[in-house]
Amino acid sequence: MQSTSNQTTFGNLLKYWRKQRNFSQLDLAVFSDVSQKHISFLESGRANPSQEMILQLATVLDIPLREQNVMLTAAGFAPIYSESDLSSPEFEPIRKALDFILLSQTLTPVLVMDRYWNLIQTNPVSQQLMNWLITPEDLHKFYIDGKINLMRLMFHPQGLKPFVANWEEIASHSIKRVYREAITNGNNQQPMQLYEELQTYPDVPQLWKLSHSHTWQLPLLSVNFLKDGLNLNFFSAIATLGTPHDIMLQELRIETLFPADELTQKNLTKLN
Q: Does position 229 have pLDDT exceeding 70, yes or no?
A: yes
pLDDT value, residue 37: 97
| Comma-separated ranges of CATH 3.30.450.180 domains in the chain | 89-271
pLDDT value, residue 215: 53
92-125 burial, b for 16+ CB within 10 Å, e for fewer? Answer: eebeeebeebbeebeebbbbbbebbbbbbbbbeb
User: Given 3.40.718.10, 3.30.450.180, 3.40.50.10470, 3.30.870.10, which CATH number is that of 89-271?
Assistant: 3.30.450.180
What distance in Å separates the CA atoms of residue 40 and residue 207, rounded to the nearest whole number?
40
If pLDDT is split at 50, 70 and 90, which confidence band does 49 have? very high
Q: What value does the mean pLDDT take over residues 13-28? A: 95
pLDDT tens per residue across span 150-171: 999 999 999 999 999 999 999 9
142 vs 46 pLDDT, higher one: 46
Contact 3, 190 (CB under 8 A): no
What does the chain come to in residues?
272
If pLDDT is split at 50, 70 and 90, which confidence band does 113 have? very high
| Comma-separated ranges of CATH 1.10.260.40 domains in the chain | 10-74
Q: What value does the mean pLDDT take over residues 63-83? A: 95
3 state SS of 32: helix
pLDDT value, residue 214: 53
What distance in Å separates the CA atoms of residue 99 and residue 103, rounded to the nearest whole number?
6
Say yes or no: domain 10-74 is CATH 1.10.260.40: yes
| Residue whose C-alpha is closest to residue 207's, from 182, 178, 181, 236 | 178
